[in-house]
Structure 1
Amino acid sequence: MSTAPPSPSSPGTSAASGPNGIPEFGVDLFSDEAVADPYPLYRRLRDLGPVVHLTAQRMYAVGRHDDVRAVLADDETFVSGQGVFFNDHMNGLMRGTILASDGAEHDRLRQIVAHRLTPRALREERASIEAKADALVTALLERDGVVDAVTEIAQAMPMSVVPDFLGMPEDCRHRLIEWAVAGLEVGGPPSERGAAAVPLTIELAEYLAALVAERRTVPGSLGHELLAAADRGDVPVQQCPALMIDYFGPSLETTISALGSAIALFARHPDQWELLRAAPELVGPAFNEVIRLETPLRSFSRVTARDTEIGGHRLPKGARVAVLFASANRDERRWDRPDEFDITRQNADHVALGHGVHGCAGQGLARLEVTSVLTRLARSVRRLEPAGEQRTVVHALVRGYASVPVRLHKD
């Protein structure tokens, strides 16, 4: 998918200087066409320089691997407390959540649930999650015909884990996926897609407000512990619905994206599936390679807390900077053959799960869900045969598939 470096006349790019001499990039990275196939655009953006000015959004952007990691690591200069989304309304609503906080406040909020997400705690969940993966794959293998890997695997697996983990009651579970999709779509720049998602996000907010008020979270769950923290005075009870959204959306939709992308990639690359079957210990690097190549959450933003520089270009205090995780993960300055799927790649420094203090808190759970399914499939399926068109989702922030039809060829 890589393209040649652009000439100064390439559409949507400019060698001319924007603010503070920073190159301008005129393509709207959030348009339907751009999100359907963003990677050639990311290449053009990286080739312009370490930081560019997005004229459509009137903000800056970093897309090279080293610069993205540097921005994410410097959480005192590039802050999250003014919101990480791409419109003022959502940034205002999410203030004071783990996602949109800094320093001691962020540490305090994250610590409330951190013990549920540590490697030690997740070891206790492993047997249950592996059993659910086994049951899911066993049921699929008992029937013949085509499987849609999105609805029947990528959605089914996290839906068997995440609602229980978060403590969501049964009466809402049939709505959770569409709520999660909408909750991230409204984080993009103002658009028709975002406007269409607003009613669903209102439904979600109203449901969670009632859930908190009525104390209906499932006992023993993360949500139940959040309410216990509110009862102790560790967090205001009125903040709990927003914090539950903070935990809920990314934990579900991004895991669905990763698992759907994994099946899609292995179906298109049978040599890599054979490698995994021959060496099951590659399942960890395979997970990293999937989310490097098809990064589930393509971008968040930060705001500069003081005047600073990126690659010699000055950025003023108060500048919003789009941090393009998906671009960094295909940066040819870091990766050889960046657009190729190679599960033997040394890829642990990808930024698909963030980096620094705001690294994804739920990454261990997502990794466990995806690798459990892949391990179980590799044990019993010799080939994942493409059985129809793989269709991607058009979404402001999430890269994923709407449909991945495959035929599972059993041993």
Structure 2
Amino acid sequence: MFRHPTAVPVYRSDIYSRAALLDPYPHYRALRDLGPVVWLARHRLYAVPRYAECKETLRDDGRYLSGHGVAANPWANRLSRGTTLNSDGADHDRRRKLVAHRLMPRALRTLGDDVDARARALVDDAVRRGTVDAVADLATALPLAVVPDLVGWPPDERGDLLHWAAATFDILGPANWQALKALPRSLHMLRFARRVVRERNVLPGSLAAELLTAVDEGGLAAEEVPPLLIDYIAPSLDTTISAISSALYLFATRPDQWQLLKEEPSLLPNAVNEIVRFESPLRGFTRKILHESTIDGTHLPAGARVLVLYASANRDEREWDAPDVFDIRNNAGRHVGFGSGAHACAGQGLARLETTAMLQALIERIDRIEIVAEPTWAVNNIIRRHEHLPVKLIPAT
């Protein structure tokens, strides 16, 4: 028997306010304390803040749909049609296959040496310069040197990519000011991607070139290509920028953990997982409930939206020992920082590769990381990352 939302615990604070976006964890804890499902009165959404229910929802594509959009507002869901994020079943599998094969481990292995070399060069340059912004000069510089070439984006048209990519995430929150002011940039990126496809000024051998060949061979409609390019480039930039900048901040503020990683570099895979668990790049996405459903005894009506909070699940006291402590000895591989199930972030392998390369370069060359001015956080409905992180890298003697 369906229960009205008033029978579900209610949270009345705005988890998408500027203050909450900058410091989300007290809100997540309050939501988890209320129950496995909480009604967000400000946004008219059911939130799933705990780990077990979050993972269950992400892995049940039959009941919790992405094909009606994963945003918390209807106009962004309409705008994102044609992406793998906004699709289900065979349609999702077909679209994902068109782009994800370039992000599989075998394909990424061919990039390894080049990414390692770029990371080492960036670290060496940062040491020579003294003080740098770890976000711009390290966390952003590496993926920006790799991802656009993989996609095939025109080399002389990359100046706005970061702003556009951030906007494609920002519009996926509720219809707040953050999303509204990001809309023009998101539309600009879509229009530009359409122009790139129309004019075919893409790099040979790239994903874009491959998709255009599929169009010529009749296996893909031309209008499907621009959303797929955006599908690939935006997550591959922002998730990596988040992970690398979080890594630098966490190791700068926890020198004992940095020393541990230097002494035991075999902990590097653990460290990457713990970084993503502790500071999840993605806050969460919504799913639409196909039929009346039950989550841990809470009845939810067909057609309702569920906000799956990855970042909250990764701090759930029911799943993790000392979840608010950053410790690279943790076995955090089961985190949901990149989602889970069929819609898990296709770019996570690339994000891991680049984050690992940056940390490896730092381990080899840097004794400690010092923060030299107050860091600032970016304000984005979906992405959690630093805006500026002024640091000095102290080289090993």
TM-score, with length taken from structure 2: 0.97
Out of 344, 358, 364, the position equivalent to 2:349 is 364
Does 1:111 find its partner at 2:97? yes
Query: What is the aligned partner in structure 2 of residue 164 from structure 1?
Result: 149
Query: What is the aligned partner in structure 1 of residue 302 from structure 2?
Result: 317
Does 1:395 find its partner at 2:390? no
Does 1:52 find its partner at 2:50? no
* Partner AA of 1:58 in structure 2: R
Query: What is the aligned partner in structure 2 of residue 185 from structure 1?
Result: 170
Query: What is the aligned partner in structure 2 of residue 246 from structure 1?
Result: 231
CA distance in 1, matches of 2:50, 2:258: 30
Query: What is the aligned partner in structure 1 of residue 123 from structure 2?
Result: 137
Out of 267, 270, 290, the position equivalent to 2:275 is 290
Runs of 4+ aligned structure 1 residues displaced above 6 Å come to none
Query: What is the aligned partner in structure 2 of residue 81 from structure 1?
Result: 67
Q: Deviations over 1:356-398 (max 9, x none)?
A: 1111111111100011011001111010011111111111111
* Partner AA of 1:266 in structure 2: F
CA distance in 1, matches of 2:231, 2:70: 12
Out of 285, 292, 297, the position equivalent to 1:307 is 292
Pair 1:221–1:314, CA change in 2 (3 A): same
Query: What is the aligned partner in structure 1 of residue 218 from structure 2?
Result: 233
**Segment of structure 1 superposing worse, 264-273 or 183-192:** 183-192
* Partner AA of 1:34 in structure 2: A
CA distance in 1, matches of 2:120, 2:353: 13
What's the secondary structure of 1:409's corresponding residue?
strand
Identity of aligned residues (%): 47
Identify unmatched segments of 5+ residues in structure 2. none
CA distance in 2, matches of 1:31, 1:334: 27
Query: What is the aligned partner in structure 1 of residue 257 from structure 2?
Result: 272
Contact 1:81 1:96 in 2 (8 A): no
Number of residue-to-residue matches in the alignment = 394
CA distance in 2, matches of 1:243, 1:20: 40
Q: CA deviation at 1:231?
A: 2.1
CA distance in 2, matches of 1:183, 1:60: 23
* Partner AA of 1:108 in structure 2: R
What's the secondary structure of 2:241's corresponding residue?
helix
Contact 2:279 2:311 in 1 (8 A): yes
Q: CA deviation at 1:325?
A: 0.2
What's the secondary structure of 1:170's corresponding residue?
coil
Identify unmatched segments of 5+ residues in structure 1. 1-16
What's the secondary structure of 2:84's corresponding residue?
coil
CA distance in 2, matches of 1:235, 1:99: 18
Q: CA deviation at 1:18?
A: 5.7
* Partner AA of 1:285 in structure 2: N
**Segment of structure 1 superposing worse, 127-136 or 317-326:** 127-136
* Partner AA of 1:44 in structure 2: A
